[in-house]
Structure 1
């Protein structure tokens, strides 16, 4: 018998009776989810979940129905109290000898104590929010769903909850590796193999903007300040927020046009060369050498904002001007451009502020094509020399 279908049938019956709650299957367990009184204020209702600790099978479903009937009755009589539903069914915090949720909190504290040389704590907060917090939340949810599984299995299930070949899966693997080291947990030997992700999907191979399109989109932007932002990202392959944290003094008419990304950014200080060099003139970037204030006037104080929030402002502007592409498309296009300029991958990776391994993974498609083309050219050259002998 299909448990999911049976759950849907039960929920439909309760819905016809006016119930705002439903039974849901999460992993191997059953929960009740819906509008319930806030734990802080009984008069304030919000969507919440009650973990029943029941196995997701027909027997467990029968028990869940009784629980749902009881909760609905308590709500109707204004007798619902969280104290009756928290504690007993949740009492599984200890696993493998320690409290996992508590250890996750300790890991977060450890994360912010480490790398004290970070230029600003705001950078660290941005990294936690984007690169760690989503995966800590996911592993805690999976931990709660699989109460009898070993922690190594919890790590594996968390990784496998993200689709293969995605950036999220790759980042999940990286973040959980750091957590595992903190918890002294040995990950499976094939962890790295199973973590493959990142890169660009097949659609990305097709959809990266051509140089001609980039130039046309630049011309379409009505606001001069945001044209400078677009031009910098296209010419130097910058991340969104990096545009506002660069030393642009070399862009003057007599400068070398090599800009310096400041250490306040996500991956620290690095220098970047223009590709194409002629775009510095095309996009009028030389004006920024003497007048960097020509860029949009936004709040860059990292005491009150974050790099993520700053980057989002650029994403919002791309949508506002209906530019057909995403800001990061300009960065990817820059990277591919350097490949066909025959810039060494190690140098390009350094300019982009990431590792060589990440660079080769992400742009493997184009790097392979370049190397194969060079091999073909060399072979053709040898044949030509032989014929001329």
Structure 2
């Protein structure tokens, strides 16, 4: 929801800039019409002949009106509003303007036919991308929205306030909150004439024990053990596929990547390039938070996990070549969890990312640097390591601080002793000089 809100704010800022530019252009072209936003709609403002039945106490025959033509307040709607402004401007300039159904805003024309949820879904994609760019990230988000709607709402149900609320209120916790978020997107996309009167549930995250470095390195070995034991089974899966999934595990552990950041157009050439002396991984621009170059949180794991071995990289390259859509990437992402369970790993793929967030704090890496490396906001990064820090990590953090303080005290005492010894030697030198001169 934080990401959705941030995207909406960014979109609104772009929209407002284009609205200001549109009005500047109208003024420059001497079009006596301006565009204004009222709520979720755009209106045309112009001084026009009096509307039928209207009058002016001053006796003037013209008045300023805001015309509602049912134009939505989005980028596509703004294009329409600009076209309508020029058309209205011509009528005003030629003095041929007449009040008709279009400009009077006849009520019967504004009534919207109530559609079923299924009918909305048929046009959901087209309307959704009127206000968004079509990228791998937005396609993944849209696919998730569609999946939730199809799973949760009967397609033949009318898309009205009461029906949505009844279904949402049958769920609790994260499920309910997810339905509220997705339904809100649907309402906004189709500009349905209602808002939801439902409250989000307060949810306490379930306890998760984030693996320490020892458990992470031990779990890496489970892939090879699984492959060895599988030789005596009748599994017909590709013999060497486990090597790629072990490589994926090692990359997640070392860099704290999101799983899909390994599958969206991976820059394998850079990864194995001799010029890549810092062993950085380049995340593609079409992923969740855009392009970034990631530094390993544990540089020695690159060698320990043999992450530049060409064999798993060849398998990865073949797999990625078959990816035709965002759905294929989602299947790859789900396969990671399946392989974790298959080889006997006791934690989730995303726990490796959380482990990197916590480790960066224990390493003393500045929060901004660690957050940028993970593709987090500073706020999200702080929440992550605070939420999953755990008693063992607290003990370690306290122990490290106490050890550092103890070391500082030892060093202070050593410095004091050296200063005292230096003063003693100076006095000794002065005494010897005095004896010599006398």
Q: Is the contact made by 2:116 and 2:155 (CA closer than 8 Å) also made in structure 1?
A: no
Q: Give CA-to-partner distance per residue, 1:22-80, whole Å, 9 cap, x none.
A: xxxxxxxxxxxxxxxxxxxxxxxxxxxxxxxxxxxxxxxxxxxxxxxxxxxxxxxxxxx
| Residue of structure 2 equivalent to 1:270 | 292
Q: Give CA-to-partner distance per residue, 1:97-137, whole Å, 9 cap, x none.
A: 6224233433333124543352x5xx5443323x2023323
Larger radius of gyration: 2
RMSD: 4.4
Name whichever of 317-326 and 354-363 sits farther off: 354-363
| Residue of structure 2 equivalent to 1:311 | 333
Q: For residues 1-389 of structure 1, what are the structure 2 equivalents within 5 Å?
A: 98-101=114-117, 102-118=119-135, 124-129=138-143, 131-137=144-150, 140-141=153-154, 144=157, 151=161, 154-164=163-173, 166=174, 168-182=175-189, 183-184=191-192, 187=195, 191=199, 194=200, 197=203, 200-202=205-207, 204=208, 206=209, 208-222=210-224, 223-245=242-264, 246-248=266-268, 249-250=270-271, 255-287=277-309, 292-293=313-314, 295=316, 297-303=318-324, 306-356=328-378, 358-366=380-388
Unaligned runs of 5+ in 2: 1-110, 225-241, 414-438
Partner SS for 1:228: helix
Structure-2 change in CA distance of 1:286 and 1:135 (3 Å): closer
Flag the structure with higher helix content. Answer: 2
Partners of 1:125 and 1:113 in 2: CA distance: 13
Structure-2 change in CA distance of 1:213 and 1:368 (3 Å): closer
Q: After TM superposition, give the deviation of residue 236 of structure 1 in Å.
A: 1.2
Q: Is the contact made by 1:237 and 1:352 (CA closer than 8 Å) also made in structure 2?
A: yes
Partners of 2:166 and 2:332 in 1: CA distance: 34
TM-score by length of 1: 0.55
| Residue of structure 1 equivalent to 2:9 | none
| Residue of structure 2 equivalent to 1:15 | none
Q: After TM superposition, give the deviation of residue 232 of structure 1 in Å.
A: 0.5
Partners of 1:282 and 1:358 in 2: CA distance: 30
Q: After TM superposition, give the deviation of residue 299 of structure 1 in Å.
A: 4.3
Unaligned runs of 5+ in 1: 1-94
Partners of 2:371 and 2:198 in 1: CA distance: 26
Runs of 4+ in 1 over 6 A off after TM superposition: 367-374
Partner SS for 1:260: strand
| Number of residue pairs matched by the alignment | 271
Structure-2 change in CA distance of 1:155 and 1:320 (3 Å): same
Q: After TM superposition, give the deviation of residue 179 of structure 1 in Å.
A: 2.1
Partners of 1:238 and 1:224 in 2: CA distance: 18
Partners of 1:162 and 1:360 in 2: CA distance: 30
Q: After TM superposition, give the deviation of residue 279 of structure 1 in Å.
A: 1.5
